[in-house]
């Protein structure tokens, strides 16, 4: 029977016995075999993350065409310029393109829009800026699929555009020279959730093949090693929180393996160091919670050029200096976010009594670079789709939204524009996150329509707000060996890190920094003591807790003891 906790139902994931048996036969521990079987892994071969198991690049529509377009530009010594998005996915996608082309002896420039001055995507204004650099070919990375007017402007100026993107397209596609996007019509590429950096990596695979066929590397005497880019591909994939299907898991796993072996991008190494993470033991969560936020801080508060320069630097000292600047920006971002969150929390009680489903937040003092994180925090509290707005210099409102499983946010905005085409100026995104711009006098109308459409989605769909766990652990399972075995796997969106549920006995507890609760627990009243921590919790602690937790290692100590990360009780 399921257990109800804080109005949320706890279910144990089903793990087929046959799959568990097959995985155990291949040497996996019983616990990890159970966990992986519950995530749909049926055979040990599915855990083979070698690069040969990647989907071939020819399966990605226009990938070969893009390679030919780029190779022609290289042969003709055309001026190539990359226009990147200002998040971690866009930064890593730009970085791998720049590093590959420079290693191939190609002169390449880049431009990353400032979110406060230029907005998102390849706009006509950005095209005019890059045109002054005598650009012949623009490559968009992690953007461009919605840039109808920007591509049209480039065409007017005689500039070719290659779009590499992964966001969902609208009803009209830009008239670019070539579009590589697995979500465009007619594309049968199976990994629809590949990140922007993954799309660019595929284009580079195709480009290397094309240049080989043309004998280009025989002339230059050197050929770039694509494997050197895998740590950047892994970082961008995890940081963009795309679902980790097998293809994405291969990319992430290969990147992590290279970092652990010491083959690491100087910028990533520096970012791990300022985050106090040991690169020899790096895991996918470190990309999502340590490196990614520091990289994103540049795009949120100033200019992502700082992040890209960190990632393309070949000198460790320069990379460390830039990483320290990014770290300071992240501290500032967290401070701004904390103030905004406090303001939002003060009005949540009123929102909960007035709104059925969709939540819209706005304060004229909010920072437009941080509203996305604010929307995410409020979404986690309410379990409802949330859009938070900030005031732009031109008087418009820039919004960033986050959604929940079962409510496709971009489709919600698309439906809203069909009801009233005048409410939203522009929008884009995917199922779980989206961005948009509206005029300030449309806020009330937008809030009304957003709530109506989301309420309709709640009525049509079964929204699963349950907590899923991987059953209980036995006391003898709580070993550093199992914790390390779990750490070495790739976990992330749609392939979650395992969590367990047990009734545990609290033997001691204390507050850390008046914010977190540190505990010592045991599996029986007089059993062995095990360290545990519940972050961002400072309320009363009962003597016995029926809790959901993750098994981890405390890296703070040299002997790295086992630690339970408690999620709820």
CA distance 428 to 440: 19
Angle between helices 230-239 and 292-301 (to 10 degrees): 70
Quick check: 475 pLDDT over 90? yes
CA angle 278, 283, 287 (to 5 degrees): 90
Q: Where are the domains of the chain?
A: 3-42+467-568, 54-327, 355-460
Q: From residue 294, how far is each of 274, 300, 307, 337, 487 by CA, in Å?
A: 9, 10, 9, 14, 22
Provide the pLDDT for residue 1: 42
Taken in order 395, 340, 434, 131, the sign of the CA dihedral is positive
159-214 pLDDT, tens digit per residue, is 999 999 999 898 899 999 999 999 999 999 999 999 999 999 999 999 999 999 99
Bridge partners of residue 438, in order along the sequence: 397, 424
Write out the two tokens for 537.
């919790």
**For the domain with range 54-327, which CATH number is right: 3.40.47.10, 3.30.300.180, 1.10.10.60, 3.90.1640.30?**
3.90.1640.30
Closest CA to 122 of 97, 91, 148: 148
User: In angstroms, what is the C-alpha Rg of the chain?
Assistant: 24
Helix, coil or strand: residue 179: strand
Write out the two tokens for 198.
């993954």
Quick check: 556 pLDDT over 80? no
CA distance 212 to 217: 6
Contact by Cβ (8 Å): 363, 351: no
Provide the pLDDT for residue 513: 86
1-56 pLDDT, tens digit per residue, is 455 445 678 999 999 999 999 999 999 999 999 999 999 999 999 999 999 999 99
Q: Taking the model in full, what pTM does it have?
A: 0.90
User: What's the mean per-residue pLDDT of the chain?
Assistant: 93
CA distance 94 to 255: 17
Can you tell me the mean pLDDT for 422-426?
Answer: 93
CATH of domain 3-42+467-568: 2.40.50.460
**For the domain with range 355-460, which CATH number is right: 1.10.730.10, 3.20.20.70, 3.90.550.10, 3.10.310.30?**
3.10.310.30
CA distance 112 to 125: 13
Bridge partners of residue 81, in order along the sequence: 109, 138
């Amino acid at each position: 029977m399921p257990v109800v906790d804080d109005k949320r139902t706890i279910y144990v994931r089903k793990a087929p016995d046959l799959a568990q048996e097959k995985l155990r036969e291949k040497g996996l521990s019983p616990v990890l075999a159970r966990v992986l079987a519950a995530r749909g892994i049926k055979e040990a071969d599915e855990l083979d993350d070698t690069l040969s198991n990647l989907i071939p690049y020819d399966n990605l529509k226009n990938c070969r065409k893009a390679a030919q377009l780029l190779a022609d530009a290289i042969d003709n010594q055309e001026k190539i310029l990359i226009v990147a998005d200002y998040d971690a996915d866009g930064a890593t996608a730009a970085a791998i393109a720049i590093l590959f082309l420079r290693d191939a002896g190609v002169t390449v420039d880049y431009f990353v829009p400032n979110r406060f001055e230029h907005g998102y995507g390849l706009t006509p204004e950005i095209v005019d800026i890059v045109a002054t650099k005598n650009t012949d070919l623009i490559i968009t990375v992690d953007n461009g699929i919605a840039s109808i007017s920007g591509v049209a402007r480039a065409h007017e100026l005689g500039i070719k555009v290659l779009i590499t993107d992964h966001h969902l397209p609208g009803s009209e596609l830009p008239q670019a020279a070539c579009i590589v996007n697995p979500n465009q019509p007619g594309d049968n590429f199976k990994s629809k959730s590949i990140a922007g950096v993954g799309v660019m990596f595929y284009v580079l695979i195709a480009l290397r093949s094309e240049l080989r066929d043309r004998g280009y590397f025989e002339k230059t005497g050197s050929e770039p090693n694509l494997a050197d880019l895998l740590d950047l591909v892994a970082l961008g994939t995890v940081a963009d929180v795309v679902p980790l299907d097998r293809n994405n898991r291969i990319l992430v796993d290969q990147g992590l393996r290279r970092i652990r072996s010491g083959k690491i991008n100087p910028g990533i190494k520096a970012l791990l160091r300022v985050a106090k993470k040991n690169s020899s033991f790096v895991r996918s969560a470190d990309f999502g919670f340590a490196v990614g936020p520091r990289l994103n801080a540049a795009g949120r508060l100033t200019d992502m050029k700082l992040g890209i320069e960190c990632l393309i630097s070949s000198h460790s000292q320069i990379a460390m200096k830039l990483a320290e600047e990014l770290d300071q920006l992240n501290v500032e971002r967290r401070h701004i976010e904390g103030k905004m969150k406090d303001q939002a929390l003060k009005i949540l009680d009123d929102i909960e009594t007035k709104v059925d489903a969709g939540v819209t937040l706005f304060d004229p003092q909010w920072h437009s670079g941080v509203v996305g994180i604010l929307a995410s925090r409020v979404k986690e509290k309410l379990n409802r789709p949330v859009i938070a707005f900030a005031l732009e210099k031109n008087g418009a409102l820039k919004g960033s939204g986050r959604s929940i499983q079962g409510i496709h946010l971009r489709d919600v905005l698309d439906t809203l524009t069909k009801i009233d085409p005048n409410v939203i100026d522009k929008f884009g995104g995917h199922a779980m996150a989206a961005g948009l711009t509206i005029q300030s006098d449309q806020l009330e109308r937008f809030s009304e329509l957003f709530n109506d459409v989301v309420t309709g989605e709640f009525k049509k769909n079964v929204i699963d707000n349950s907590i899923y766990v991987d059953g209980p652990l036995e006391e003898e399972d709580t070993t550093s060996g199992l914790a390390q075995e779990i750490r070495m796997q790739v976990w992330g969106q749609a392939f979650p890190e395992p969590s367990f549920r047990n009734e545990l006995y609290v033997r001691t507890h204390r507050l850390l920094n008046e914010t977190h609760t540190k505990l010592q627990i045991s599996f029986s009243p007089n059993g062995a003591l095990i360290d545990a921590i519940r972050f961002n919790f400072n309320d009363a602690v009962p003597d016995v807790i029926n809790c959901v937790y993750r098994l981890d290692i405390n890296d703070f100590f040299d002997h790295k003891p086992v630690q339970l990360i408690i999620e709820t009780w």
